[in-house]
Structure 1
Amino acid sequence: MGGGYDYYWLISGQDWPICSVNEIIRFFESQDGKNYIQYWNSKNYGDHKQNNLDKRNQIYFPQKIIGRGIVQKVIKRSWVELTGGYNRTWRLFERKQLPVKFYFGSSWWALGRDTVDWIMEYLAKHEEYYAFYCNTVCPDESFFQTLVMLSPFADDKTDYLTYLHFPAGANSPVVLGKSDWEEAQNSGYLIMRKVDLDVDDFFLKL
């Protein structure tokens, strides 16, 4: 990262803008560096019960089993079960932890320049932080959330800026289409996810 921008906004290739470019720019100009990032602490959303979020960082995941391939998924699941399952980890398998409290949340965020500058400075001084996350699962759903909560800007937070439908228990949000457009426009969010033009090309006709 770099360039001295006022905001850094991570979005998906399957996002679609709900507002015009000018409206989005005006929105960020009015925020004065406020961070938009979703997060909750570990231990099952603060209920002090371990779940698969905690497991992602508790054990060491070799690079070769991290991925979406069928063989990788089978080996990874077997490794999780061997180490105690998703709801606990046998002490023998616990990796050395970072001296931080982990947070988790959506991959998509918008962070102000001061926060990003702090993150870059922190990472330059703490190479072990980056190295640790090289052997975790879904690091994009914890890496920045934990850093923001470590930073002096931890209280400058709100939710993310993306409209989506994420059914309970699903691994990904549903594909949105024409029938979702009006509700998305009235949602107050800036973009919607996820959109697949091969499924519904309505958005090209706007």
Structure 2
Amino acid sequence: MTILKHLYILITGGPYKTLFFKRKNITGLEYNFGSSWWTLTHSCVEWMLDYLERHEEVLDFFDNSICPDESLFQSLFMKTPYTNTRENIKVYLDWTGENRHPKTLTINDYDTLMNSDFLIARKFDEKIDGEIINKLESKLKMK
């Protein structure tokens, strides 16, 4: 089913463009794209949920997108009254990984993480290095 959905989306418009057709924007939102790793205030999330409740066509539209997590909330955020309250993201990413993906963090990155002011870090893989995950979990339990 996933392959068919992606094929349908590719042919009929992706988030906004396609191989064959231009997809009509029925959402009233300007398209914005970005990372799905970010933080939002409670009031901003409430605004977004209220907007989506009143505009069901937005969810229907983005349901037929390949990466809605990298466009739906970014597009919504730019419509909120909080647009001008942006701050630098508090996500630790090491872009020295391969294939344009963040590096998988290991125990060698522990001190860097602990001495930073980041709230979120990515990415981890217990098959590559479970020690850093265990050490971070232990540190969190101590708080």
Q: TM-score range by the shorter chain?
A: 0.7 to 0.9
**Greater RCO, 1 or 2 (C-alpha within 8 Å, sep 6+):** 1
The structural deviation recorded for 1:64 is: 4.8
Decide which of 95, 101, 124 is 1:166's aligned counterpart.
95
User: 1:63–1:135: 8 Å Cα contact kept in structure 2?
Assistant: no
Structure 1 pair 199/188, CA: closer, same or farther in 2 (3 Å)?
Answer: same
User: 1:176–1:194: 8 Å Cα contact kept in structure 2?
Assistant: yes
When normalised by structure 2's length, the TM-score is: 0.74
The structural deviation recorded for 1:168 is: 8.0
User: 2:97–2:104: 8 Å Cα contact kept in structure 1?
Assistant: no
User: 1:63–1:134: 8 Å Cα contact kept in structure 2?
Assistant: no
Q: What is residue 24 of structure 2 aligned with on the other side? A: 96
The structural deviation recorded for 1:124 is: 1.3
The structural deviation recorded for 1:169 is: 7.8
Structure 1 stretch displaced more, 166-175 or 121-130? 166-175
Tell me, which stretches of 5 or more residues in structure 2 are unaligned? 139-143
Structure 1 pair 108/127, CA: closer, same or farther in 2 (3 Å)?
Answer: same
Aligned residues: 130
Does residue 65 (structure 1) correspond to residue 39 (structure 2)? The answer is no
Structure 1 pair 89/191, CA: closer, same or farther in 2 (3 Å)?
Answer: closer
The structural deviation recorded for 1:161 is: 2.0
Does residue 111 (structure 1) correspond to residue 40 (structure 2)? The answer is yes
Q: Which amino acid aligns with 1:184?
A: L
Q: What is residue 201 of structure 1 aligned with on the other side? A: 130
Structure 1 pair 63/161, CA: closer, same or farther in 2 (3 Å)?
Answer: same
**Greater fraction of residues in helix:** 2
The structural deviation recorded for 1:135 is: 0.7
Q: What is residue 47 of structure 1 aligned with on the other side? A: none
Within-5 A mapping of 1:183-202: 183-202=112-131
How far apart in 2 are the matches of 1:89 and 1:120? 29
User: 1:177–1:195: 8 Å Cα contact kept in structure 2?
Assistant: yes
Does residue 181 (structure 1) correspond to residue 85 (structure 2)? The answer is no
The structural deviation recorded for 1:102 is: 1.1
Decide which of 25, 28, 53 is 1:124's aligned counterpart.
53
Tell me, which stretches of 5 or more residues in structure 1 are unaligned? 1-61, 67-71
What is the alpha-carbon root mean square deviation over aligned residues?
2.9
Q: Which amino acid aligns with 1:104?
A: F
How far apart in 1 are the matches of 2:99 and 2:55? 35
How far apart in 2 are the matches of 1:138 and 1:169? 21
When normalised by structure 1's length, the TM-score is: 0.54
